[in-house]
């Protein structure tokens, strides 16, 4: 149903916490996602013009690179973008068919591709660009949080995480229950100042992004060299004057 | 969900090794009814611990790429025309065998076997050795031989893949010139661990991509000046007296006395006693003593008199004197490096702070090589990794050595928190036998063709001092070219003509395109005929799985399988997957059955070797010994008990490293996830170069042959031997034209010089440095035919600093001309701030030659993708009347890709929106042979 | 936003149809309709042809037309679903109203049916408008102008159409219809100008830094997009029209879509060739509204295009 479900007390809010401090922009998550999902329950993620002039396709996850400036200091921020499984997902409520829905038990936003008519209104309703049209099947596709993997009991327990999380080489992606304040992901969000994307729009995204940070090593201010110092310095001579033992 | 219930497919999971790049991650390949469904990282695998990069995850699309070759091919049109005839394997093998047998019967050296990133060099090298040709090399010469050679001659290990930072204990990590390359997933995992632990990551790189993007500090260094920066750091540490003197005297040759007798034959060599043992001056006894003796108080400074009256000084004294010189003060190098002096001083202070005020002490007793028991392992948590940015310059060998010297001064080699050896390293210095040469005419070489010269006597030169090898490796032009000079192979084969080289046999190497400097010229050389229509390079055999640009220039094409369709061996004899925690190796297994008429190249090579009756591949009656690579992997013994695979040896499969062949070895590997790993005991985890238990254990496993302490070479005496020859001492001596060059570049202490090409170029005309970076989602040319990866990078841009762009009037997506001293190319620009202001760069190997890789004729790879290679020359400018030198490091022959300097200008309006130069061939046109004698 | 022909046709054509129905219903409810059953019957048929054309056009926007029936199920949350339901409900009401009028049914019932037709028609138009007005990522749509403007354009286009029909049936548009068309044209013109002033003065919905979760004070610039080829998001949400180009089109839309119909409506009441004037007014309104609607889409920007460095 396109109306949002009553969330039972204690319901999970499964989602991702993405660490922009460690994301190297390698596209591993995007490609592994495509690979898992194209043969999974989400159906084929089509590619168009595979070997031609305009190679394109459906991806649940796309990796951008940005440069940022803050007080004269510049850095590169790699930014993976996928469905945020919002608490107030307009993409669900605008759906005229009920194909888009949010699960009561864990908050995952899904598309029932058997019901979808491909009107694409949901993609207009999503400010994050997370929904893409499958131009071959004529239905919308989006991140499923690997719902066919995270609950699959034939998969070893520690691998029951979304494919993007399992594959991320720089461990920039974390998966868990954001409704549980004691979960690892909730702790990360608290400790690292995890942020919502576009909070002003009021979608209340589940996924959170951890901002880049900067480690420093405090040292005494570097001493300017003594004027006229030349050759091997007194400090070194002093050091080597002491007896050594081989 | 959309899934409709159907009969459940049969699901199986095979564990094998990835090959979408050279990283060698463990993968789990999921199959449904025998078809590829999903590839993921193997959580149990030591390399990737379950993670897998974008390339590895796209393996499914490579397995179905339309660029896969499907049958052996014989050229029918002109070289490069793409016209071929399909032939049977029987025909193909007959052609190859007849050709090679004839060469072997006359002069085996006329076969040049050059292979790419194939990870089977212990096989291909052994084939060359048994065939009797010295003309063999793999891709290391244009990749990272500077790192390998500098490391192996300095510390008995190397950055590259032979070492790793101590991710668990490092507090400061310096990353020099590392883009998204070796070891891709282990480095990403490691960086994440450092981040988690709050360690500081400092990236020194002209370009901020990938790893540099997440560094805590980024220094946009000017290309080719890393050595100067390191000297400035050393200068500051010396100035502040912040070095680990104890480490130096215990583990390096810093205290060894260097003979100071200019002009004499022994000048610059280490003083030795009558028994040949190196000497030091013991301050406690006031006398000269054996340098490696324990319990002494060796002098690191001063001048001492030897028994023969000559003077000698500790190596460290020479070093301190050199780098304390004001020319290496931060203020003196800042302008050149593009880094502020204050930043250099601060970083030196941070290094000193971490190394000396925050040592890592592990409560782990161990025994050193002298037999002393230590209660703890104490280390300096400054870890360094360096790669191609240092390597691909013609001053890269010395720059890399400078970094190792910095590590030694800090006591940051294989100590807790620092850089560590990966098993099977460290190895004695230098790392192996001298390069092989034919024992008898037509016979096998006496050692592998790629080896480790210890002095001029090990060079492969004729009486005039000129090169014997085609690529001039191990000659005075590149004495320590331990990986060969692959980038010169085609040019030198062309120079040599049919008398020099008959057959160029290339495996898995795109030498006509992105692996060539100057591809236009390279393909011209491959296609040039004499008046009779005979090619100057008479015969070219290419073995590859895909229709690369090079395939079009082959006379005979041997189609290989993909990595999911064959056995492979990631061997300790080659480039193993060991870690600081112990040795490891791995295999690939066939997961899919080929749906084409292709054969694994290794099987083909072993078949060929058998047909040729090569020793070690055929018995004395000339009968082939092995029917397949899988059989060779199990049964071949390089030395008694030592084979391609180190795990599960011995009759019962319980021997490690050394043991009799085990017929069930491959089954044991498969059961174990297609890898084997030996965990070193904790006592052996650090100080491996001087750890008695480690050295003994490594010897027992066959990793090293001598368990003596490996003394780190702060001072590289080997280099001095070459220099003495150039000064007229000993034999052989370099030809006169190279003497000055050898004297200059074979300095036993690291030096810095302006990269050769840069120094010979008019910098006013070509003021900008131009380099490439490896994209994380594409491994060289391997991804362009992959339907997923090419969506990420089907074309590339030339990136430049926004300030530079503004100055030149260039905007995002504008078309620009890039001109070097040798050629021009047209490409599209993109601006950024994370780049050195005087540097432009692009992604490597994205541009393709029309017709290749089974892409459509209007693919962006052809129309807008470009190679910087087009404006790089394999030769330096001519000097006087002499033939030009190769564009390489003068010590190792490493291809100096990054010495390029260019100028930039916006294209005039109306210039076509296409890259230039553009060449195109037809796609491969294969005629099916009427008769097939298969 | 990409101006798809199907959606342009949907919104403009249903505007004419439901607008005409609204006028017919309103006049009937107020007892102001001339006793000309042909006019009403023809009017309703023509109105339904317009609405049906629009609704059928909208089907072409659907990728899976065979499942279109599902779109009626989610009226509790979805304006698109409500639009469908309202449109479908309007048909029987309008037909009943037409039949009642044709048959000369009881005046009260006819009046009530007329009022119901008015409400159902405007209700449908309101639902259509709310599809756009409810989309928070598109500032040019998610504002207080969209719904009243859509209603106004429907009323305007219906008035012009009614005047034409009345002229065809009775030889002259009549003062009331002409006045109504002219007044509606004037109001629509002012509304459109107010709308453009509003969206031109709007601040972008967000900065790129906020879109990627960075705190205020950080400036972000795109370096590399995920893929080189244009993808679905860029084709749909990345559509942009050059400012200069848009300014010209705006003037043209105002002139053709509103100013000319206004003048022609006045002319139709006064001049000797009312049929020509009202028909021209109708043609101008149709062309101008199509242009106006094209701009409504083309000038709309979607927050998600921020990720690709597009101006929003």
> Residue B533: which residues within 8 A CB-CB, separation 6 or more?
none
A21 in B contact zone (CB under 8 Å): yes
Query: Do residue C228 and residue B832 have CB atoms under 8 angstroms apart?
Result: no
B200-204 and B217-219: which strand pairing? Answer: parallel
- What is the rounded CA–CA span in Å between residue C302 and residue B530? 64
Write down the pLDDT at residue B563: 97
Query: Do residue B213 and residue A148 have CB atoms under 8 angstroms apart?
Result: no
- How close, in Å, is residue A10 to chain C by CA atoms? 25
**Is residue A229 included in any domain, yes or no?**
no
Write down the pLDDT at residue A223: 64
**Is residue A101 included in any domain, yes or no?**
yes
Write down the pLDDT at residue C37: 86
| Continuous H helices in B501-618 | 519-527, 601-612
C227 in B contact zone (CB under 8 Å): yes
Closest CA to B114 of B104, B128, B99: B128
* Percent of chain A with pLDDT strictly greater than 70: 95
Query: Do residue A201 and residue C229 have CB atoms under 8 angstroms apart?
Result: no
Query: Do residue A24 and residue B188 have CB atoms under 8 angstroms apart?
Result: yes
B793 in C contact zone (CB under 8 Å): yes
- What is the rounded CA–CA span in Å between residue B508 and residue B723? 37
**Is residue A66 included in any domain, yes or no?**
yes
Is the CB of residue B570 less than 8 Å from the CB of residue B81?
Answer: no
CATH number at residue A76: 3.30.70.20
**Is residue A7 included in any domain, yes or no?**
no
Q: Is C79 helix (H, G, I), strand (E, B) or coil?
A: helix
Q: Which chains touch C (3 or more CB pairs under 8 A)?
A: A, B
Q: Tell me how many degrees the CA angle C254-C258-C259 measures, rounded to the nearest 5.
A: 85
- What is the rounded CA–CA span in Å between residue A17 and residue A171? 11
C217 in A contact zone (CB under 8 Å): yes
**Interface A-B: count of C-beta contacts within 8 A:** 256
Nearest-by-CA chain B residue for C225: B792
B795 in C contact zone (CB under 8 Å): yes
Half-sphere exposure of B350 (CA within 13 A, CB side): 21
* Residues 99-138 in A contacting B (C-alpha not used; CB under 8 Å): 110, 112-114
User: What pTM, to 2 d.p., does this model score?
Assistant: 0.96
B847 in C contact zone (CB under 8 Å): no
Residue A229 confidence (pLDDT) above 70: no
Nearest-by-CA chain A residue for B860: A53
Query: Do residue B792 and residue C229 have CB atoms under 8 angstroms apart?
Result: no
Kindly provide the ipTM of the predicted complex, given to two decimals.
0.96
- How close, in Å, is residue A146 to chain B by CA atoms? 12
Spans in chain B with pLDDT lower than 50: 1-4, 932-934
* Residues 732-791 in B contacting A (C-alpha not used; CB under 8 Å): 776-777, 785, 787-791
Query: Do residue A118 and residue C134 have CB atoms under 8 angstroms apart?
Result: no
Q: Which residues of A touch C230 (CB under 8 A)?
A: 54, 56
**Cα maximum dimension of chain A:** 85
C143 in A contact zone (CB under 8 Å): no
B266 in C contact zone (CB under 8 Å): no
Is the CB of residue B433 less than 8 Å from the CB of residue B440?
Answer: no
- Candidates C76, C206, C215; nearest CB to A3: C76
* Residues 313-352 in B contacting A (C-alpha not used; CB under 8 Å): 320-321, 324-326, 329, 331, 342, 345-346, 348-350, 352
Write down the pLDDT at residue A204: 97
Q: Which chains touch A (3 or more CB pairs under 8 A)?
A: B, C
**Interface B-C: count of C-beta contacts within 8 A:** 15
> Residue B441: which residues within 8 A CB-CB, separation 6 or more?
none
**Interface A-C: count of C-beta contacts within 8 A:** 208
CATH number of this structure's domain C5-308: 1.20.1630.10
- What is the rounded CA–CA span in Å between residue C21 and residue C154? 10
For chain B, which domains are there?
Answer: 8-57 (2.20.25.90), 73-138+441-559 (3.40.50.740), 163-421 (3.40.228.10), 756-906 (2.40.40.20)
- How close, in Å, is residue A30 to chain B by CA atoms? 7
- What is the rounded CA–CA span in Å between residue B495 and residue B470? 9
- Candidates A23, A53, A222; nearest CB to B349: A222
- pLDDT tens-digit series, residues B721-738: 999 999 999 889 999 999
C228 in B contact zone (CB under 8 Å): yes
A67, β-bridge pairs:
A76, C221
Nearest-by-CA chain A residue for C130: A94
* Residues 133-192 in A contacting B (C-alpha not used; CB under 8 Å): 139, 147-148, 158-159, 163, 166-172
State the residue for tokens 């009759």. Answer: B651
**Is residue A178 included in any domain, yes or no?**
yes
Residue A3 confidence (pLDDT) above 80: yes
Q: How many CB atoms lie within 10 A of CB A182?
A: 7
Nearest-by-CA chain B residue for C227: B792
Write down the pLDDT at residue B305: 97
- Show the domain range for A135: 14-210
B213, B279, B355: best mutation site toward chain A, by most A Cβ within 10 Å? B213
Q: Which residues of B touch A31 (CB under 8 A)?
A: 54-55, 57-58, 777, 788-789
Q: Which residues of C touch A124 (CB under 8 A)?
A: 1, 135, 137-138, 236-237, 302
Dihedral angle of Cα B848, B849, B855, B860, to the nearest 10 degrees: 50
Is the CB of residue B906 less than 8 Å from the CB of residue B816?
Answer: yes
Write down the pLDDT at residue B932: 47
> Picking from A97-111, A219-233, C199-213, which range would have the lowest pLDDT averaged per residue?
A219-233
- pLDDT tens-digit series, residues C125-183: 999 999 999 999 999 999 999 999 999 999 999 999 999 999 999 998 989 999 999 99
How many domains, chain A?
1
Query: Do residue B860 and residue C223 have CB atoms under 8 angstroms apart?
Result: no
Write down the pLDDT at residue B2: 43
User: Tokens at residue B341, please?
Assistant: 């002096």
Query: Do residue C228 and residue B860 have CB atoms under 8 angstroms apart?
Result: yes
Q: Which residues of C touch B832 (CB under 8 A)?
A: 223
- What is the rounded CA–CA span in Å between residue B792 and residue B781? 14
- pLDDT tens-digit series, residues B61-115: 999 999 999 999 999 999 999 999 999 999 999 999 999 999 999 999 999 999 9
Query: Do residue B794 and residue C223 have CB atoms under 8 angstroms apart?
Result: no
Query: Do residue A51 and residue B787 have CB atoms under 8 angstroms apart?
Result: yes
B353 in A contact zone (CB under 8 Å): yes
Q: Is B736 helix (H, G, I), strand (E, B) or coil?
A: helix
* Percent of chain C with pLDDT strictly greater than 90: 91
Query: Do residue C227 and residue B795 have CB atoms under 8 angstroms apart?
Result: no
Dihedral angle of Cα C198, C199, C203, C207, to the nearest 10 degrees: 160
Query: Do residue B792 and residue C227 have CB atoms under 8 angstroms apart?
Result: yes
Is the CB of residue B77 less than 8 Å from the CB of residue B606?
Answer: no
- How close, in Å, is residue C277 to chain B by CA atoms? 49
Domain regions of chain C by residue span: 5-308
- End-to-end CA distance of chain B: give it in Å, rounded: 50
- pLDDT tens-digit series, residues A91-128: 999 999 999 999 999 999 999 999 999 999 999 999 99
- How close, in Å, is residue B855 to chain A by CA atoms? 5
Query: Do residue C63 and residue A117 have CB atoms under 8 angstroms apart?
Result: yes
């Amino acid at each position: 149903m396109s109306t949002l479900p009553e969330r039972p007390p204690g319901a999970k809010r499964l989602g991702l916490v993405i660490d922009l401090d460690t994301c190297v922009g390698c596209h591993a998550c995007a490609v592994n996602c495509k690979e898992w999902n194209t043969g999974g329950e989400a159906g084929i993620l089509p590619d168009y013009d595979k070997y031609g002039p305009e190679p394109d396709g459906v991806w649940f996850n796309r990796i951008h690179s940005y440069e940022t400036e803050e007080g004269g200091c510049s850095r590169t921020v790699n930014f993976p973008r996928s469905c945020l499984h919002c608490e107030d997902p307009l993409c669900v409520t605008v759906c005229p068919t009920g194909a888009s829905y949010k699960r009561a038990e864990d908050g995952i936003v899904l598309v029932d591709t058997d019901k979808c008519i491909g009107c694409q209104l949901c993609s207009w309703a999503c400010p994050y660009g997370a929904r893409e049209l499958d131009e071959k099947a004529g239905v919308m596709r989006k991140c499923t949080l690997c719902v066919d993997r995270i609950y699959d009991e034939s998969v070893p327990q520690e691998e029951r995480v979304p494919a993007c999380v399992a594959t991320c080489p720089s461990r920039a992606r974390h998966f868990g229950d954001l409704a549980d304040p004691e979960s690892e992901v909730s702790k990360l969000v608290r400790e690292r100042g995890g942020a919502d994307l576009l909070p002003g729009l009021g979608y209340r995204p589940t996924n959170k992004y951890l901002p880049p940070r900067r480690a420093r090593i405090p040292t005494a201010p570097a001493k300017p060299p003594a004027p006229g110092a030349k050759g091997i310095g007194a400090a070194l001579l002093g050091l080597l004057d002491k007896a050594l033992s081989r | 969900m959309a899934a409709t219930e159907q009969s459940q497919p049969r699901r199986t999971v095979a564990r094998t090794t990835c090959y979408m790049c050279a990283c060698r991650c463990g993968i789990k390949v999921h199959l449904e009814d025998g078809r590829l469904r999903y590839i993921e990282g193997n959580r149990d695998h030591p390399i990737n611990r379950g993670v897998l990069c974008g390339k590895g995850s796209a393996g499914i699309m490579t397995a179905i790429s339309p660029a896969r070759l499907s049958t052996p091919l014989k050229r029918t049109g002109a070289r490069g025309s793409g016209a071929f005839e399909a032939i049977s394997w029987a025909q193909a093998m007959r052609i190859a065998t007849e050709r090679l047998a004839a060469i072997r019967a006359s002069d085996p050296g006329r076969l040049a076997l050059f292979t790419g990133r194939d990870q089977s060099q212990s096989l291909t090298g052994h084939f060359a050795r048994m065939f009797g040709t010295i003309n063999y090399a793999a891709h290391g010469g244009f990749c990272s031989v500077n790192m390998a050679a500098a490391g192996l001659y300095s510390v008995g290990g190397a950055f590259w893949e032979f070492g790793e930072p101590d991710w668990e204990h490092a507090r400061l990590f310096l990353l020099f010139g590392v883009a998204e390359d070796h070891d891709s997933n282990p480095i990403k995992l490691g960086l994440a661990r450092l981040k988690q632990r709050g360690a500081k990551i400092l990236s020194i790189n002209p370009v901020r991509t990938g790893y540099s993007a997440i560094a805590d500090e980024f220094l946009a260094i000017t290309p080719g000046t890393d050595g100067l920066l390191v000297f400035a750091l050393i200068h500051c540490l010396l100035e502040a007296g912040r070095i680990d003197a104890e480490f130096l005297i215990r583990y390096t040759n810093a205290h060894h006395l260097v003979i100071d007798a200019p002009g004499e034959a022994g000048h610059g060599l280490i003083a030795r006693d009558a028994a040949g043992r190196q000497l030091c001056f013991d301050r406690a006894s006031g006398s000269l003593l054996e340098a490696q003796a324990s319990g002494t108080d060796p002098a690191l400074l001063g001048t001492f008199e030897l028994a023969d009256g000559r003077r000698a000084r500790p190596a460290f004294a020479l070093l301190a004197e050199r780098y304390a010189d004001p020319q290496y003060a931060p203020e003196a190098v800042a302008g050149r490096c593009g880094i502020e002096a204050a930043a250099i001083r601060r970083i030196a202070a941070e290094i000193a702070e971490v190394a000396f005020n925050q040592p890592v002490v592990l409560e782990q007793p161990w025994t050193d090589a002298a037999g002393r028991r230590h209660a703890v392992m104490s280390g300096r948590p400054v870890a360094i990794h360096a790669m191609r940015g240092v390597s691909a310059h013609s001053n890269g060998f010395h720059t890399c050595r400078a970094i190792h010297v910095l590590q030694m001064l800090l006591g940051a080699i294989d100590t807790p928190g620092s850089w560590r050896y990966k098993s099977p390293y460290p190895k004695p210095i230098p790392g192996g036998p001298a390069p092989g040469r034919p024992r008898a005419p037509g016979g096998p070489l006496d050692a592998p063709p790629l080896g480790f010269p210890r002095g001029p006597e090990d060079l492969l030169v004729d009486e005039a001092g000129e090169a014997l090898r085609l690529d001039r490796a191990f000659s005075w032009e590149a004495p320590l070219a331990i990986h060969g000079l692959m980038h010169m192979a085609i040019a030198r084969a062309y120079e040599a003509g049919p008398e020099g080289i008959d057959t160029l046999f290339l495996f898995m190497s795109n030498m006509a395109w992105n692996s060539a400097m100057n591809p236009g010229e390279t393909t011209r050389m491959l296609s040039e005929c004499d008046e009779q229509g005979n090619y100057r390079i008479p015969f070219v055999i290419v073995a590859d799985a895909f229709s690369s640009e090079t395939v079009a220039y082959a006379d005979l094409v041997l189609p290989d399988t993909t990595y999911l369709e064959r056995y492979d061996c990631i061997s300790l004899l080659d480039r193993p997957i060991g870690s600081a925690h112990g040795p490891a190796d791995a295999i690939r297994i066939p997961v899919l059955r080929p749906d084409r008429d292709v054969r694994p190249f290794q099987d083909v090579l072993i078949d060929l070797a058998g047909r040729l009756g090569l020793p070690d591949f055929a018995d004395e009656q000339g009968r082939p010994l092995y029917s397949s690579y899988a059989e060779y992997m199990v049964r071949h013994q390089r030395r008694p008990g030592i084979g391609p695979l180190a795990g599960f040896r011995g009759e019962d499969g319980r021997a490690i490293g050394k043991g009799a062949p085990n017929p069930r070895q491959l089954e044991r590997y498969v059961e174990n996830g297609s890898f084997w790993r030996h965990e070193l005991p904790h006592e052996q985890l650090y100080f491996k170069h001087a750890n008695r238990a480690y050295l003994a254990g490594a010897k027992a496993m066959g990793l090293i042959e001598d368990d003596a302490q490996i003394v780190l070479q702060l001072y590289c005496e080997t280099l001095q031997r070459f220099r003495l020859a150039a000064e007229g001492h000993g034999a052989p001596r370099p030809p006169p034209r190279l003497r000055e060059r050898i004297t200059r570049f074979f300095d036993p202490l690291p030096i810095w010089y302006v990269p050769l090409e840069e120094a010979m170029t008019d910098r006013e005309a070509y003021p900008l440095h131009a380099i490439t970076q490896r994209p994380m989602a594409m491994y060289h040319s391997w991804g362009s035919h992959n339907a997923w990866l090419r969506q990420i990078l089907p074309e590339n841009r030339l990136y430049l600093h926004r300030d530079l762009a503004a100055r030149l009037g260039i905007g995002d997506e504008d078309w620009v001309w890039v001109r070097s001293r040798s050629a021009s190319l047209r490409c599209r620009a993109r601006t950024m701030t994370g780049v050195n202001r005087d540097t432009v760069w692009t992604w490597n190997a994205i541009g393709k030659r029309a017709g290749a890789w089974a892409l459509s004729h209007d693919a962006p790879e052809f129309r807008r993708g470009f190679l910087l290679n087009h404006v790089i020359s394999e030769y330096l400018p001519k000097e006087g009347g002499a033939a030009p030198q190769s564009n390489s490091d003068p010590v190792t022959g490493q291809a100096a890709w990054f010495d390029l300097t260019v100028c930039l200008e916006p294209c005039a309006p109306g210039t076509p929106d296409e890259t230039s130069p553009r060449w195109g061939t037809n796609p491969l046109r294969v005629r099916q042979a009427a008769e097939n004698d298969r | 936003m990409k101006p798809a022909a199907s959606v342009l046709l949907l919104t403009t054509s249903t505007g004419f149809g439901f607008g005409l129905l609204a006028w017919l219903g309103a006049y009937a409810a107020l007892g102001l309709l001339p006793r000309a059953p042909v006019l009403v019957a023809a009017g309703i048929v023509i109105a339904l042809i317009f609405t049906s054309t629009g609704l059928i056009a909208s089907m072409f926007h659907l990728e899976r037309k065979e499942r279109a029936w599902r779109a009626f199920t989610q009226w509790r949350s979805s304006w698109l679903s409500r639009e469908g339901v309202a449109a479908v409900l309007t048909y029987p009401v309008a037909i009943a109203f037409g039949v009642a009028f044709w048959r000369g049914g009881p005046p009260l019932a006819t009046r009530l049916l007329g009022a119901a037709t008015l409400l159902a028609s405007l209700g449908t138009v309101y639902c259509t408008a709310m599809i756009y007005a409810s989309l928070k990522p598109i500032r040019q749509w998610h504002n207080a102008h969209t719904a009243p403007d859509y209603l106004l354009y429907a009323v305007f286009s219906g008035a012009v159409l009614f005047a034409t029909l009345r002229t065809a049936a009775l030889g002259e548009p009549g003062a009331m219809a002409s006045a109504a068309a002219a007044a509606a044209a004037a109001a629509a013109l002012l509304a459109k100008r107010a709308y453009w002033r509003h969206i031109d003065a709007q601040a972008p919905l967000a900065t790129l830094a906020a879109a990627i979760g960075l705190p205020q004070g950080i400036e972000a610039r795109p370096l590399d997009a995920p893929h080189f080829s244009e993808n679905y998001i860029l084709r749909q949400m990345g559509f942009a029209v050059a400012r200069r180009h848009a300014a010209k089109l705006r003037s043209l839309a105002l002139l053709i879509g509103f100013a000319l119909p206004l003048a022609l409506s006045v002319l139709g009441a006064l001049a000797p060739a009312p049929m020509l004037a009202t028909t021209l007014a109708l043609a101008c309104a149709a062309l101008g509204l199509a242009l106006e609607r094209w701009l409504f889409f083309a000038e709309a920007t979607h927050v998600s295009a921020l990720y690709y460095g597009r101006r929003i």
